[in-house]
Amino acid sequence: MDNIAGTKSALSWVVNLSVIFLVVLWLIPTVGLLVSSFRDRDQISASGWWLSPFPVEQNFQAKAAADDATSQNGTNVIEGNLFSEGSGEVIRFGGSRNNPTANAAGETAELSKDRTLTVQQNGDFVYTSPAEIKRDPSIYYSTKTPPKFSMDNYRTIMSSSNMDLAFINTLTVTIPATIIPILIAAFAAYALAWMDFAGRGVLIAVVVGLLVVPLQLALVPLLQFHNKIGIGQSFLGIWMAHTGFGLPLAIYLLRNYMVGLPRDIIESAKVDGATDFQVFTRIVLPLSFPALASFAIFQFLWTWNDLLVAKVFLPSNSESWVMTVKIADDLLGSRGGDWGILAAAAFISIAVPLIVFFTMQRYLVRGLLAGSVK
Per-residue model confidence as pLDDT tens digits over 244-265: 899 998 999 889 888 888 888 8
- Residues 197 and 8: their CA atoms lie apart, in Å, by 51
- Residues near 195 by beta carbon (within 8 Å), at least 6 away in sequence: 276
Per-residue model confidence as pLDDT tens digits over 66-78: 888 888 888 889 8
Q: What is the pTM of this model?
A: 0.75
User: CB count, 10 Å around CB of 129?
Assistant: 20
Per-residue model confidence as pLDDT tens digits over 136-193: 899 999 998 888 888 988 888 888 888 889 999 999 999 999 999 999 999 999 999 8
- Residues near 26 by beta carbon (within 8 Å), at least 6 away in sequence: none
- Residues 241 and 325: their CA atoms lie apart, in Å, by 17
How far is C-alpha 46 from the chain's CA centre? 21
- Residues 136 and 318: their CA atoms lie apart, in Å, by 43
- Residues near 134 by beta carbon (within 8 Å), at least 6 away in sequence: 66
CATH superfamily, domain at 155-369: MetI-like (1.10.3720.10)
